[in-house]
């Protein structure tokens, strides 16, 4: 989570909402990292999770991220939750809950929806206070 929090700080430095994500291999090695880049790129899909998934798939040469774990500072939204399901990632670890747009248990629970063909393990609340503080500080300064 420390690496994801560092990514979140990088997003804030670039004027983007501070969310950071990393993808770890089955052995725990860092495969990829990403942070929000919507403002930087003008791409509405440039969320931390999506960018980290794309980079991990490129690193592995495969779209299936079986055995991998995504660690993200904020609960994924519906777009990101859908991408996580499609990637076949095994585990999602997130920090702060997102009561307004969360899709891993807060507002929706896309990741554990029994109607879908893949349901990753979800671990919530890891370093939640640190992730929430980065976000609060960013919005206070705005």
The whole-angstrom separation of Cα 119 and Cα 99 is 21
Q: Which of 7, 37, 49, 75 is catalytic?
A: 49
Please identify every stretch of the chain with a pLDDT value under 50, giving residue numbers as ranges.
none
Q: Quote the pLDDT of residue 142.
A: 85
List the structure tokens of 72.
């993200």
Distance (Å) of CA 55 to CA 24, 33, 50, 102: 11, 7, 9, 23
Q: What is the pLDDT of residue 119?
A: 97
The CA–CA distances, whole Å, from 53 to 13, 22, 66, 87, 101 equal 22, 8, 12, 8, 20
Query: What pLDDT does 137 receive?
Result: 96
Helices (H) and strands (E) in the chain, counts: 5, 5
**What pTM was computed for the model?**
0.96
Phi, then psi, of 23 in degrees rounded to 5: -115, 130
CA distance 118 to 6: 29
Known catalytic membership, residue 9: no
């Amino acid at each position: 989570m420390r690496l994801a929090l560092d990514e979140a700080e990088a997003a804030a430095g670039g004027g983007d909402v501070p969310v950071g994500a990393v993808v770890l291999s089955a052995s725990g090695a860092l495969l990829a990292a990403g942070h929000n880049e919507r403002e930087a790129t003008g791409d509405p899909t440039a969320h931390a999770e999506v960018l980290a998934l794309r980079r991990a798939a490129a690193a592995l040469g495969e779209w299936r991220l079986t055995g991998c774990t995504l660690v993200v500072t904020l609960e994924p939204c519906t777009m990101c939750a859908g991408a996580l399901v499609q990637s076949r990632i095994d585990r999602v670890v997130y920090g702060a809950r997102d009561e307004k747009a969360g899709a891993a248990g807060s507002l929706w629970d896309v990741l554990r929806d029994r109607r879908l063909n893949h349901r990753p393990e979800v671990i919530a609340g890891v370093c939640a206070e640190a992730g929430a503080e980065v976000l609060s500080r960013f919005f206070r300064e705005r």
